[in-house]
A and B are shown apart, each in its own frame.
Chain A
Amino acid sequence: MAKTGTHSWTFTDPVYLQSTGTAVGPMEGEGPLKETYDVIHEELHCGESNWELAERKLMTDAVNTCLQKAGVDQSNIDLFLAGDLLNQNVTGNYVARQLGIPVLGMFGACSTSMETLATGAALVSSGYATQALVAVSSHNCTAERQFRYPTEYGGQKPGTATFTVTGSGAALLSKTPSKVKVEAATIGKVMDYSVKDPFDMGSAMAPAAWDTIKTHLEDMGRVPGDYDVIATGDLSSVGTPILKDLMKQDGYDISDVHKDCGLLVYHSDQPVFAGGSGCACSAVVTYGKIVQDLMSGKYKRVLIVATGALMSPMMLQQKESIPGIAHAVVLTRGEEGS
Chain B
Amino acid sequence: MAKQPLNEKNFDKARKSYQPKPPYVMNCLKAFIIGGLICVFGELLTQMYIHWFDYSEKNAINPTVATLILLSALATGFGVYDKLGQFAGAGSAVPVTGFANSITSAALEHKSEGLVLGVATNLFKLAGSVIVFGVVAAYVLGIIRYVWSLIF
Contacts and interface: CB of A to CB of B under 8 A. Distances in A.
Given A50-B112, A238-B19, A150 B106 contact: yes
A207 interface: yes
Contact of B93 (A51, A154, A245): A154
Given A49-B112, A245-B3, 4 more contacts: A150-B125, A154-B85, A160-B20, A194-B12
B82 A152 contact: yes
B86 A157 contact: yes
Interface stretch (B43-51, B59-67, B97-105, B132-140): B97-105
A249 B5 CA distance: 7
Given A153-B126, A154-B82, A159-B22, A195 B12 contact: yes
A154 B98 contact: yes
B83 to A, nearest CB: 8
B95 to A, nearest CB: 11
A246 B3 CA distance: 11
A145 interface: yes
A200 B108 contact: no
B93 A155 contact: yes
A159 B18 CA distance: 12
- 10 residue pairs, one from A and one from B, having the closest CB atoms: A154-B85, A150-B109, A50-B112, A150-B105, A193-B11, A152-B105, A156-B89, A203-B15, A153-B105, A159-B20
B15 A153 contact: no
Interface of A: 49-52, 145, 149-160, 193-196, 200, 203, 207, 238, 241-242, 245-246, 249, 271
8 contacts: A52-B112, A150-B110, A150-B126, A152-B104, A154-B76, A154-B84, A154-B102, A158-B22
Contacts of B98: 154
B132 to A, nearest CB: 16
Interface residues of B, number: 39
B109 A249 contact: no
Contacts of A203: 11, 15, 18-19
Contacts of B11: 193-195, 203, 207
Interface of B: 3, 5-6, 8, 11-12, 15, 18-20, 22, 27, 76-77, 79, 81-86, 88-90, 92-93, 98, 101-102, 104-106, 108-112, 125-126
Question: Main secondary structure on chain A at its contact with chain B?
Answer: loop
B101 A242 contact: no
B149 to A, nearest CB: 40
Contacts of B92: 154
Given A153-B126, A157-B86, A159-B22, A145 B15 contact: no
Contacts of B6: 242, 245-246, 249
B18 A238 contact: yes
Nearest to A157: B86
Given A195-B11, A195-B12, A153 B85 contact: yes
A88 B27 CA distance: 39
Nearest to B91: A156
A249 B3 CA distance: 11
Listed residue (B19, B22, B85, B110) with the most chain A CB atoms within 10 angstroms of its CB:
B19
